[in-house]
Amino acid sequence: MDSLFAPWRMTYIRAPKDHEGCIFCDFPKEDRDRERYIVHRGRTCFVICNAYPYTPGHLMVAPYRHTAAYEALSDEELLELHRLGGRCIIVLREVMHPHGFNLGVNLGKVAGAGFDGHLHLHVVPRWNGDTNFMPVIGDVRVIAEAIQATYDRVRNAWDQGGNE
C-alpha cells in the first residue's frame, strides 16, 4: 500500500487563517473565480483548485450548501459532487498526465479536514515517485508548477470540454 504523507500541511492547519468564515461558502459568492481558483460552477457544487496542494493539480469539489454531514447531502448534491469528481479526473488526465489519483472526503478535524465545517471531495493526481527525499531530508516540498499556471491549464481544458 502506498502512503501519501504531507507533513507540511500541519503548518497550514495550525496557522492563523487570513480569511474569516468559510471559503467554500464565501468564495463562490464573489465574482473573482480566477483569483479564488474556481474552475467550474455547477448547479449544486463547484470545483476549486486547492491553494495548498498535496501535488500540482489538487482539486476540490464542494457543495454550495454549508454542511459537514455527508449523509445529509441531497441526492442531487451527492450525484453532482461525484460527477464533477469524475470530470476532474478526465481534465487532469488530459492536462497533467498523472499515473493515478487519490480521491477522498475528510469528515472532521480528526480525519484531517482543514475546513471541517464544510465537506469537500479531494481529487489528487499522483505520479510514480511523486514523494521523494525533499520533504524528509530538507523539510521542503516541491510543487513543480505555480498554482495560477495550474489553474489556467485546468480551467482552459475544462472550458474546452476536457476530452469528453
Active site positions, annotated: 120
Please give the Cα distance from 55 to 33 (Å, whole number).
21
**Residue carrying the nine cell digits 445529509:** 72
Residue 46's Cβ-side half-sphere holds a number of Cα atoms within 13 Å equal to 22
Residue 27 amino acid letter: F
Strand ranges, E, within the chain: 38-41, 45-49, 59-63, 100-105, 121-126
